Chains A and B, each alone.
Chain A
Amino acid sequence: MFGEWKSKSRGVALIAAVFFGLLCLGLSTAFLLQLPVDLSATSGFKQSTEASYIADAAITDTMAWISHELANNREPCTMSNPTPWREGDLGEWSWTCRVEPDSGTPPNGLTQIRLYRLTGTASRQGEERYRIVADVQAGQSFSRFAIFIDREQPVWPWYDFIVAEVSKYRGPIHKNRGISFKVSPSLLATAPPDGPIFNSTISTSENHHVWTVGTTSSTTTSLSSDAYDNILENGEADLLYSVPPRPLPSSSQGLANAAWGGLAPSAPPSGITVSPAGGVFIAGDVDRMEMSQDGNGNFVLTIDCGGQVTTVVEDTLSNQRLVSGPTGSTTVAGLGSGVIFATGDIASLRGVNKGPHTIANRFEEGKAIEITGSLTRADTPIGTEPVGTADRLGIVTNKIWIAPHSVLPRNQANPLFLYATFLATDTFWVRNYNGEDGAPPGSMAIYGGLSTGLPWRTVRVTGTNYHVVAGYGSPIGFGSAPILYDKLMANEPPPEYPATAGTELMVRAWREKPL
């Protein structure tokens, strides 16, 4: 039995050793095979990173070139070369970038906001390795700002912003000059219970702001870090300095063209013109302009010029406009551009807006618009913030007047509601503000934004006392108006709403893809 076992067990150790050897060989082979994969992945990571920065350089270089062309009043994209092609080298790498204007950007259109799609590709030894597609924009709609101020009040001291516990400012703020703040002393030490006073960036073209604390007249250009944290959502980081100034528009011709449906004549025929490609063009002054809805929910614009009343009904169902006036009725195909333009003053504006519209006049000639009633919107219950952009409204003029109490009574219980974004190249002025002329203090709320040439008066100083006379950011009933920033309208402006004529490009979308 033992002999049989002995003969059968011969070679077992050898077989076991060979088996073990084969097992180890398999393991080491797998290990060796895996190693090049790891090394290749690392090499790929290194090259992909290099390629991504080369493609990024292609976009950066092209953005600088476009900005330079625009700054020198040259269009990057022309009729003869609508999609220019840029290329360059960087070490062993080469890059290309194609520029494509959007449908409204020259040479395809004439919008003030320029949008380009840039496709940057990095290549090495003729092989494409990485691609970045970036959508970039030159110019910004003024609807993007909650508050925009172009210049300084001629009389000092007027403070741009009251910074007290009750103040609330929402949305980006910019001034082409230094901004002056009047700060409640308690805010320097204690954070307000409802969070910081400002929730967005505050930019200036100067290299400092001016802060005045309490009723003192001494000013400082900076506060403590803790004070900034109490006032600004992101602390001092929200204060931006030396931002290039953004001039207000100097001509309303673009709006006139959009209302006319082509190049608007300098001496248009009298009366109201409604064209298929345009909006509503009014030659002369308007005594009354009222927005409303008919029984079918269509937008109705009533225009009274010297007793001659014209109505324009935008029939969304049949996609046409019905124009009824002193000379009869007619229909015009399409809903038009949405721009309502008058060459003269608009003495009375009020009503309910439906659909995207911009109401404008020749602001460069000092024409004004007086608001004689609330401007509300069909898609938003009064007193609530908009949740869509369907019924957005823009107002563009030289001066915006809010009618006096005798015409437009208002108080804290029954405030004036303005659902619009405003641009006034001069200023926004409230008649009878804070009980002037014996009238009771007014009250209103703006759901949108406000861009003006001169700042809205905020504070008047009498001796060592100061009091709010009008201004931004305070709650209803403090003799001033809260501006409830409509960020939806900021991203989707009213039709042809003016934009900064900036040449600086900003990135709106960015996609990367290794090839």
Chain B
Amino acid sequence: MSLRRSSLSGVSLAETMVAAVIVLLVLLSLIGTVAFGLRGTREAEGSQDAVLHARRLIELIRERRLPQVEVFPPEVGFSDPAVSRTALDAFPFQPKPSGEDFPAGTGYTRRIVTERLSEDGDDYRSRLYLIDVTVFWKIKGRENQYQLTGYYRAP
């Protein structure tokens, strides 16, 4: 019995060692793959949310005619400060649930630029405004951005 047990144990130990190394290597590579995949999925989700936020911003700007109203009288139109980042639900929008614009604390920020295409009243484009919306978000400290551009036609 003792001979059989020692013989079996010796063989199993070598096999087990090799098998353990294989399993370890496989698990490590699997973890790496999963981590890589999850990061990619997070980025994809982040991008999709950014697209939805950018669309929402453009639609709200059109709906509220922000390019042609006096948001900060007497100045007509609305743009965010050029350099800084502004929270999505910051003025002139409102956070949910008091408003219906954006959920609070999304982690996304924005920069909005609206610009009249022509100041010449004889030019048909004097009734057109460019809306340029950039949505920013961070993943592990790295900033990502998505830019969406559309037109607004004054009624």
- Contacts from A to B (Cβ < 8 Å): 2-3, 6, 9-14, 16-18, 20-21, 24-25, 27-28, 31-32, 34-35, 38-39, 41-43, 45-46, 49-50, 53-54, 56-57, 60-61, 63-65, 67-69, 90-91, 504
Contacts and interface: CB of A to CB of B under 8 A. Distances in A.
B15 A10 contact: yes
A469 B51 CA distance: 59
Interface stretch (B19-27, B79-87, B95-103): B19-27
A35 B124 contact: no
A17 B19 contact: yes
Secondary structure class of chain B's binding surface, majority of residues: helix
B150 interface: yes
Q: Which of A24, A25, A27 has the most CB of B within 10 A?
A: A24
A54 B149 CA distance: 7
B151 A57 contact: yes
Contacts of A39: 40, 43-44
Contacts of B7: 6
B11 A6 contact: yes
B4 A20 contact: no
A90 to B, nearest CB: 6
Given A49-B148, A56-B150, A28 B33 contact: yes
B33 A68 contact: no
A69 B54 CA distance: 33
Secondary structure class of chain A's binding surface, majority of residues: helix
B148 A28 contact: no
Contacts of A25: 26, 29
A25 to B, nearest CB: 7
Interface in B1-39: 4, 7-8, 11-12, 15-16, 18-20, 22-23, 25-27, 29-30, 33-34, 36-37
A45 B33 contact: no
Contact of B47 (A24, A46, A61): A46
Please tell me the size bucket of the interface on B: 35 or more
Contacts of B20: 17
Contact of A38 (B16, B19, B41, B51): B41
Contacts of A35: 36-37, 40-41
B19 A10 contact: no
Given A14-B19, A35-B37, 16 more contacts: A6-B7, A10-B15, A12-B15, A13-B16, A20-B23, A20-B26, A21-B25, A31-B33, A38-B44, A49-B54, A49-B148, A53-B58, A53-B149, A56-B151, A57-B151, A61-B125
Interface string B120-142: 00001101100000000000000
Contacts of B36: 32, 35
A18 B20 CA distance: 10
Contacts of A3: 4
Q: Which 5 A-B pairs have the closest CB atoms?
A: A17-B19, A68-B124, A28-B33, A42-B44, A53-B150
Given A27-B30, A50-B148, A64 B128 contact: yes
Contacts of B16: 13
A145 B128 CA distance: 29
